Structure 1
Amino acid sequence: MGTLDMAEILLDAYHLADQINESEEVQAYLNLRKKLKEDPEAQKLIREFQKLKERYEEAQRFGIFHPNYHESKNQAESFLKQMRAHPVIGSFLEAEEKLDHLLYQVSSMIARSVSESVKVPVNDMGKGSKKGRKACGDR
């Protein structure tokens, strides 16, 4: 078994990146991101959500002991549901989740081909946790 040249690995990685960029998932994501940025109503909702999210994150630093913790959490969750009902925002979030799933599958396949114990980056957007997630369109 010969050694693999690092330049060859990088060229293969660029080729894979090109293939991913040509995928339906990426094209849908980019198209919907553009629509999202051009939709004034969606942008207004996003700004409102970011304010609610900041209030919740402030309360979250103190946990359940903060006087507005539960209220701010419920407001943010309720508003997120409202945002998902908006046609452009909902479509964008769905496309974003599909793209995230594709990238996770590719990362997982590469990592698992090396070893079962290699950690795979995961964005658990669809699991109810929004840790590490930016607000709509902030990528």
Structure 2
Amino acid sequence: MERKYKLLIADDDNHIRTTFKDYFTKQNFIVETASDGIEGLEKLRADEFDVAIVDMKMPKMNGIDMINEALKSDETDANMIIISTPHESNKGDVIKALNIGVNAWFEKSELEMPQLLKRVTELAQVIPPEMVKRITSMIQN
């Protein structure tokens, strides 16, 4: 039996959330959504996700801050992808995102779903280093 990967989509655009959820559900993912950065952070803290697709600009908390909060406290093992429009980000944002551990960045205007699916699947199949450490420490005890 093939394992279903769990995906979080955090975006304030209802059309994007719905489109992505429908697409990834058809690709055999378990999908949850969040409509702002605070809700996305709460879901990352409350549940385990393999990958999170996070919009750069959202109400209440932007995508980089949401990811930073989740990753800095070791509350999630999810691999992170940021999506944005060209006017929402700059070179400094990209550098900050890479430094905090974002695994990929896609521009919404150039986004092709098969390309996003490929990257999400690749990331979902990776075992995060934090999980490897936890498993190894449990085995050693």
Please report the TM-score for the alignment, with normalisation by the length of structure 1: 0.21
Using CA pairs under 8 Å that are at least 6 residues apart, name the structure with larger relative contact order, 1 or 2: 1
Please report the TM-score for the alignment, with normalisation by the length of structure 2: 0.21
Q: Compare the two structures and name the one with the higher strand fraction.
A: 2
Larger radius of gyration: 1
